[in-house]
Structure 1
């Protein structure tokens, strides 16, 4: 299904939850939905500037986000307002669920950053993941999350994002 498909949906509301609570929600233009992978585009939805030290997300940035119904991650291509590629921010999530004009994604704390130059792939928030208790409360999901992070890191280090997002 594409943005021009029979469902008529051109905009989705992306809802990111974490630990059972809504972390953020924002409108995004639906670019494509083939039944497995969805792609949306949205401006930076956070308030003000978020400086991670290795990248700054700020008003004017544009995110092209890829979600899968059968994979435990989301990949977000981040560009500055002038179109310059900043890199890819990857969230480890449960598989995405689309219901009508809504797209729900559950964040599992682990993240990965791949800068535009391909150097210094960073695994992020492993301490938050360990503290989340997921390994005890849902060991299968915890294993899937770690496996997804490992798979993304391998793709990032071998230029596999080109194929993944094509």
Structure 2
């Protein structure tokens, strides 16, 4: 899908809109539209408004209407990194989903969530590994040990990057 838009110079252009499809345990968890910013064949970047209903308060961050997510997916990495900004444009932090490598097909990016997550606050002071209990309960260690190992390695890699200064090197 594409929509007409105007660039800052006033020229009209076409913006490609994709659906982001987040899958968990074989079911679609959420589907939402996003503007395609970049796709080099390996790394896909989209921008989307907060797609949840109302406010979601995790305790360490609140996602709410007006928030904007710049989402990075890779066809060869076991994670997705999402920069989260508030309505005024200030960075809240980065939410990372541990997931199978994304697939991109006509009009959509599909990301299969593997339950593990990582949060890094904007100031870098808070780095949290999330949902390890959900991952253990998922049974992936038994049903797909290779994927479970890749997921744990991806979480370790992202935590190291988050603690050593941030995601800029990954997102370039």
Counting strand residues as a fraction of each chain, which structure ranks higher? 2
Match of 1:60 among 66, 71, 76: 66
- Checking the alignment, whether the CA contact within 8 Å between 1:62 and 1:79 is kept in structure 2 is yes
Residue number in structure 1 paired with 2:45: 39
Q: Which blocks of at least 5 consecutive residues in structure 2 are unaligned?
A: 1-13
Q: Following TM superposition, by how much is the alpha carbon of 1:10 offset from its aligned partner in structure 2, in angstroms?
A: 0.5
- Checking the alignment, whether the CA contact within 8 Å between 1:30 and 1:41 is kept in structure 2 is yes
Q: Deviations over 1:15-62 (max 9, x none)?
A: 000000110000000000000000000000001000000000000000
Q: CA RMSD in A?
A: 1.0
Residue number in structure 1 paired with 2:121: 115
Match of 2:104 among 98, 102, 105: 98
Aligned length: 159
Q: Which blocks of at least 5 consecutive residues in structure 1 are unaligned?
A: 1-7
Report the Cα distance in structure 1 between the residues aligned to 2:21 and 2:139, rounded to whole angstroms.
Answer: 22
Q: Following TM superposition, by how much is the alpha carbon of 1:160 offset from its aligned partner in structure 2, in angstroms?
A: 4.3
Q: Following TM superposition, by how much is the alpha carbon of 1:9 offset from its aligned partner in structure 2, in angstroms?
A: 7.0
Q: How does 1:72-151 map to 2 (within 5 A)?
A: 72-151=78-157
SS of 1:75's equivalent in the other structure is strand
TM-score (normalizing by structure 1): 0.94
Q: Following TM superposition, by how much is the alpha carbon of 1:76 offset from its aligned partner in structure 2, in angstroms?
A: 0.1
Match of 1:162 among 139, 161, 168: 168
TM-score (normalizing by structure 2): 0.91
Larger Rg: 2
Which ranges of 4 or more aligned residues in structure 1 deviate by more than 4 Å? none
Q: Following TM superposition, by how much is the alpha carbon of 1:101 offset from its aligned partner in structure 2, in angstroms?
A: 0.7
